[in-house]
Amino acid sequence: MLAPTLLFAVLLAAKPAVPAQAIAADVVVPFDGTASTAEGLPPGAALTLRAAVPGGPSGRVWFTTSDRGLVVTGAVDGPAPAFAPAGADVATLLAADHVEVWLAGPNDAQLPPLGWGNQFGEQGPDACDERDVCRAWADRQRPHRAAVAKQLVRQWVASGGAAVEAYATPARGALLDPFAAFAPRGGVRMKAVAAAGARGWTFQVEVPWTALPPLDVLEVAELRVLVDVFARAPAGARQGAFASTSAARRWGVPATFNRVRLARPRVYRVSPCDDPLGGADVYGKEHRAWYVPEERDFQSSFLIVNSAVGYQYEPSEPSPILQPIPRFWREVEPGTTLCGPELSIRRGDGVHRLKLPVRAQGLALRRLPGGAMLVKSGPEVREASYFGSGTCGSCPRALFDVIHVDRAFRATRAFAIELVHPGSEEQDLALAPDWSRVTLFRREAPEALHGPQPPWTAEDHCLRGTRYVACGVRTGARPPDPPNVPELREPGEE
């Protein structure tokens, strides 16, 4: 038995330009396996099913939620239904008596303009030297972009015990980027029972939270939902007459769906620090982010952006692609968690957003006398340039920094360095056990593995207040053994 517990207020969507009208729906709709399920429920709490074509059924629909998901209960005035058999294909489902539940998030998606990126920034079709190449690429993107837009909507077709997604799923064949995280997930269930007389039947469809479409808000207070009820198709027809909860209904257009407001918003999180959902692309430009609800504490989030690759002077990747946001966190002591890639600190019930970039590798915290703290990240090794461009663009570089955080959670970048290994110099670094000193080690790269070894020079930087300052240079120093950054200790070629 389904047991809806959380309740809704329902907003009726007429034409998109007309303001929605709020209707209270303070009801619980259990499904007890009889045709009287919806009897006695207040008419004002329901959406009316109106025949969209002559001969269509009529009835009412109520929305509630269970712990598992959204619950749609309907009372239909029409002949006893003839549902599709178990395991039926989509065409058979559509021809049988069935219910369609359309779902979209509260906001429309806006795909990035057709284009791509390289080390010089975002590019459009006009940037092509070979116009024929660009025109052919742009032609390939049109079905892909239409399919991407469809991944943000769900059409659940339910007939008897069978339910399939029939909008986003067929479109996936046109995707040039897999958008795997946005693939529809199942678990939708339907129950239905006919009235004892010649007419009338009641249904209940439960859509798990994990079967919702991608969302761009963490506090889900509203969804766009459309319910259509179809009679079985006459011989030779693909579908029968139907009724809809929206007089403005247009197939696959979320702006014409009903707006359903949750009386108790459902809240999701992307990190223990309750970081905001959005994220930045490789150029630092902020974008809306998306996620598909999962049964886990923290959701994986994604950007819908154009690809950006070094030396991509003509487009080679789809537009757009799905790019994961690399979030990370570490509990550094009981009750204290550090989150990135923009530093946030959760301490007990409070969260402090310091908005300085950190890296996952080497993320750690050390408390100082008086209540201040130091947060370090790195050394983390990557190519010197994201795009592999410029002088020594593909050389390894090590990023290391320390942030000073005072008792009021004011942050100062105490130390930051980027060590690049061009091949002519070996380098390493070390942090003192008490974090009071950072030492940089450098020497000219040996000309031969077995020849004379040049001496190492050590440059010390000591913590003074909120920053590390130069405090001495030593020649003939001994570097860390084993190396802290081995990638910078191997001679290479310029």
pLDDT at 194: 85
Residue 44 tokens read as 């004002």
Question: Which residues lie across from 418 on neighbouring strands?
Answer: 399
- Buried/exposed 358-385: b ≥16 CB within 10 Å, e otherwise: bbbebbebbebeeebbbbbbbbbbebbb
Residue 380 identity = E
Task: Supply φ then ψ for residue 111, to 5 degrees.
Answer: -70, 150
Position 306 scores a pLDDT of 96
Structure tokens that stand for 364 in this block: 């750690």
Contacts of residue 44, defined as CB under 8 A and 6 or more positions apart, other chains included, come to 23, 24
Residues 456, 257: Cα–Cα separation, whole Å: 70
Encoded tokens for 440: 């940089």
Q: 173-199 as b/e, with b when 16 or more CB fall inside 10 Å?
A: eebbbebebbebeeebbbbbbebeeee
Q: Give the per-residue pLDDT at 6.
A: 32
- Closest Cα to residue 323, out of 299, 341, 349, 305? 305
Contacts of 433 (CB under 8 A, 6+ apart): none
Domains of the chain and CATH, by start: 6-109+152-267 (2.60.40), 375-488 (no CATH)
pLDDT at res. 199: 81
User: Is 17 buried (19+), middle (13-18) or exposed (0-12) by CB count in 10 A?
Assistant: exposed
Task: Note the pLDDT of residue 239.
Answer: 95
- Residue 421's pLDDT is what? 78
Report long-range pairs for 358-364 (Cβ below 8 Å, ≥24 apart): 358/401, 358/403, 359/399, 360/326, 360/328, 360/330, 362/400, 363/328, 363/330, 363/332, 363/338, 364/330, 364/332
* Grouped pLDDT means (10 residues each) for the chain, 494 residues: 36 34 38 46 72 92 88 90 91 95 94 94 86 91 98 96 94 97 95 81 95 97 94 94 93 93 90 95 93 95 94 91 96 96 95 95 97 96 71 80 97 95 84 98 75 88 98 96 89 41
